[in-house]
Structure 1
Amino acid sequence: MMNIFVSIAILSLIIWLYLLLFRGGFWFSNQRINPNLKPLNHYPSVCAVIPARNEADVLPISLKSLLTQDYPGNFSIILVDDQSDDNTGNVAQEVANNCQKSEGLQVISGQPLAPGWSGKLWAMEQGICQAQKQENKPDYFLLTDADIEHHSSNLRELITKAEEENLALTSLMVWLRCQSFWERFLIPAFVFFFEKLYPFSWVNNPRNKMAAAAGGCILIRRDILEEIGGIEVVSKALIDDCSLAAAVKAKLQENSENTTQGIWLGLSEKTRSLRPYDSLDSIWNMVARTAYTQLYYSPFLLLGTLLGMILVYLVAPISLILGVLMGNQLIGIIGGITWLMMAISYMPTLKLYRCSPLWGFSLPIIGLLYSLMTLDSAWRHWRGKGGGWKGRVYSINN
């Protein structure tokens, strides 16, 4: 029996050695836009499309941050009021008037949700169609959530990055709010797990098939969007950002003669989400909404994920405790080393979120909680209640 415990502990150690050495350096959290990029000779036109459903409370900050961008090129904003009941459309217009930027904002009333679409994507589709009616179509679309506060040079930096590196899609994982206890406990881990699942360096490698994006802030070339068939190609996706990135990268890799290098995903400290997650319940619902979708609604992938989370995050502390209680130095040392490696790998993300490095030793508990959220996500799907958001419940395939 002890040999079995030792073998499992060694396997967990080997997994962490692989993650740290061969998983694209995901844990370094070092994919950032250089703010000191050389200015462009010409700045292309951009249209921001904002799907907004009951976002009146955040628009005075988020929309204002877009209206006051220091972008030298032609920049317009289309906000789609997606069947809101909190006066979202009027608040948006009032914000633009207060900024004396009313000419830069167009608010349109969203149509009832069309069959086969998720709400956000349907609103986005309407905004894009409205932009396509303009006499001078934009060169780029900025697809952004209504709860994102963009730092003043965000658009200029995104465009400069995209133009200098000839990128089809450029996306930022914005800085998520991290103020309450539960946010500090669980939100950095959300980013850490995302980076582990989609190593950014692999995403940013045009020869690697790995593709991902962060839906809060996506800059995409209009011609590329049209080439892949528009937003409609991911109309049924709950994880729409990664699905869109996958469609773009697949199209680019199809054509070996394509001069566009690829896609890019990075982190931001200055562009931030305003969405609060003050309680365990709010974070739980955020994860449970799409976790099972990420597993393609497969019970086998669910079982494999849960066993994997146990092996990766729980075996190390259990081994250390067993080693101490049973007086077995070998299993205790293996468990301790693995746990230390785990904590070290988490430090760059904790630094990004200005949290103590000691939080790194809480990863086993965090991993357990996220495993339970994933299990609950599957349970919600089985009961026909998966994918609930903003008063709508979706149960569609990714």
Structure 2
Amino acid sequence: MTDDLLGRHRSVLPDWLALYYEHPIEITHGEGRHVWDADGNRYLDFFGGILTTMTAHALPEITKAVSDQAGRIVHSSTLYLNRPMVELAERIAKLSGIPDARVFFTTSGTEANDTALLLATTYRRSNTVLAMRNSYHGRSFSSVGITGNRGWSPTSLSPLQTLYVHGGVRTRGPFAALDDYDYVAACVDDLKDLLGHTRPPAALIAEPIQGVGGFTSPPDGLYAAFREVLHERGILWIADEVQTGWGRTGEHFWGWQAHGRSGPPDMLTFAKGIGNGMSIGGVVARSEIMNCLDANSISTFGGTQITMAAGLANLTYLLEHDLQGNARRVGGLLIQRLRAAAAQVPAVREVRGRGLMIGIELTRPGTDRADPEAASAVLEAAREGGLLIGKGGGHDTSALRVAPPLSLNVAEAEEGADILERALWSIR
């Protein structure tokens, strides 16, 4: 770098603003599934700006849509009719599976979850919320208050009463030794017991696959079983699809569909990938829930024309090129390669995930104790080899997160697997 950008960063930005790598890098440009840093180094990107560059870097269809829209008007707020916003809302409402759906756009997943909590607590007249252990839902005051991951919860103060439910992490906790059927039954019994000790909650909010938590998930069907218990009591189900939405899991367009026998959630939240790097988030809810607010509201930046143009172009490309199917096919190959490589590394406790959403949990060999130092070492070794990946996990950040753009091809998957295999071997 030509100047001391790291020093300047540290002098004006918060100490708690995390940076990857012992020697942080500045990413200057990208193309397809690759990015370049300020020193000219080229990397295969298997993290996509935290699952946000979902389709590809510098995708011509999206850059043209953004450029064309910028030449007309960039922004007007929700106080005026906005054709791109209406068009994207129509498409998302239909894709959501929620009947009589309404869509409200925000600028981030944090704000989307904030809005969902506002709707749920207003609709149900309750400030009690059920959330999953090991969960993450954002960095605002209310979303931190329902986050079940200690590493991302800087305060115990909250406007909400939060009760945490078992089930989000299949291979840890008191029910881990049970088979899938008994595991689901035990978690449902625990939920029923919890509800017997509290006033009726407003909602359960849950990530179908926990993102920051290290790409952990319950057996398919758990949230459907939860939904039956919640529905009997009028409690809402909010699916946090900020990381799982838009086909990333390969098998389904939305993560909730793996738990869908009782129908869609009452609300779902989305963000990250739909904008392919542009700042888009939002909430989809049944009309009676979305329309329950009895005060005026607007959004200054949610749904602005330039982000909606990007979202429309990105969604069109994703559907026309069957990127969900590509995530299923290429992701299946990638997870097989990583499991084969990990079988030779004692520090790897588990390789998990589906589609192009893969977690590798590292522990001290022969134990279940997290090994965040090993995770950091693999992250560094992968970068040295030309691969960018992420970290996460509820046990001292000891899980590696692998989430490439959904257009990843087989050759790139093989290349990335080779680099990651060598990085894992470096800690054997």
TM-score, length-normalised on structure 2?
0.29
TM-score, length-normalised on structure 1?
0.30
The structure whose Rg is larger is 1
